[in-house]
Amino acid sequence: MGIVHKFEKSGEEWNWQGVTKKDYPSSSEPGGARGASVRWLIGREEGAPYFALRYFEVEPGGQTILDQHQHDHGVFILRGKGTVLLGEEKKEVSPGDVIYIPPGEVHQLINRGEEVFGFLCIIPNKEHLRSIGVL
């Protein structure tokens, strides 16, 4: 059976019923995450076998970790402005923009604005990919 997590907005805070906001592990290392949080909107807990949908927020001056994976990502910018690093290239992004991050590409999202930078990120279920020999 499907699940609905109702959206709740309180001032600038975006939340969904039944979803916990988690701080993204911060680091003072170059390329480390700063001022970032994640909410797993759809994933294992909802019984999704093939994908996960996450909502990230990055505070002004913050960034996600400089990362690289064997799986791809789809990102949809909902609020704020930022920069996405894709390999060696940097691109400015804002609400409505869509980003595809292919497997193996170095990537990072950086808040360059003065408000919260929020985006959805969809990834495959890594356990499923391992079970079919993709990872």
Domain spans of the chain? 21-131
Determine if residue 15 is left, alpha or beta; phi over 0 gives left, psi from -120 to 50 gives alpha, anything else beta: beta
Asked if residue 53 has pLDDT above 80, the reply is: yes
CA distance 125 to 72: 11
Q: Residues 27-46: pLDDT tens digits? A: 777 788 999 999 999 998 89
Q: Residues 103-117: pLDDT tens digits? A: 999 999 999 999 999
Reported in sequence order, the residue ranges of the chain that DSSP labels E, i.e. its strands, are 7-10, 13-16, 22-23, 34-42, 51-63, 73-79, 82-86, 89-93, 98-101, 107-111, 117-124
Which residue numbers are catalytic? 121
Q: What CATH class has 21-131?
A: mainly beta
How many of the other CB atoms lie within 10 Å of CB of 55? 20
- pLDDT at position 25: 80
Q: Which of 135, 85, 122 is nearest to 105 (CA)?
A: 85
CA distance 46 to 32: 29
Is the model's pTM score more than 0.85? yes
